[in-house]
């Protein structure tokens, strides 16, 4: 189940450059983290949102849209791991 959700997520997030276009990816990310960490979809929501935001910023950075996108991606990832730790630990 987790592997199929991960593949689905890769396809959905792809090269998205705006959070407005990532609704499906965010939902899939919630499902993935709920499955992997055995938490509710509600508990997975914040972490999923932060992870998708980090990926969008990474996409922008990789396309040469500015170094500040790497900084934002790092910030979102740090917040993601903190949120995940709150829900799993």
Per-residue pLDDT of the chain (89 residues; tens, 9 = 90+): 999 999 999 999 888 888 888 889 999 999 999 999 999 999 999 999 999 999 999 999 999 999 999 999 999 999 999 999 999 87
Q: What are the phi and psi torsion angles at 19 (to 5°)? A: -65, -25
State residue 17's pLDDT score.
85
Does the predicted TM-score (pTM) go above 0.85? yes
State residue 5's pLDDT score.
94
CA atoms of 51 and 27, how far apart (whole Å)? 12
State residue 67's pLDDT score.
95
CA atoms of 29 and 83, how far apart (whole Å)? 14
Nearest alpha carbon to residue 43 among 57, 24, 29, 22: 29
């Amino acid at each position: 189940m987790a592997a199929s959700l991960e593949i689905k997520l890769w396809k959905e997030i792809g090269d998205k450059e705006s959070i407005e276009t990532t609704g499906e990816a965010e939902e899939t990310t919630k499902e993935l983290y709920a499955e992997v960490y055995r938490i509710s979809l509600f508990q997975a929501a914040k972490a999923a949102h932060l992870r998708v935001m980090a990926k969008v910023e990474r996409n922008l950075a990789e396309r040469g849209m500015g170094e500040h996108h790497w900084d934002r991606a790092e910030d979102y990832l740090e917040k993601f791991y903190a949120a995940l730790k709150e829900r799993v630990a």
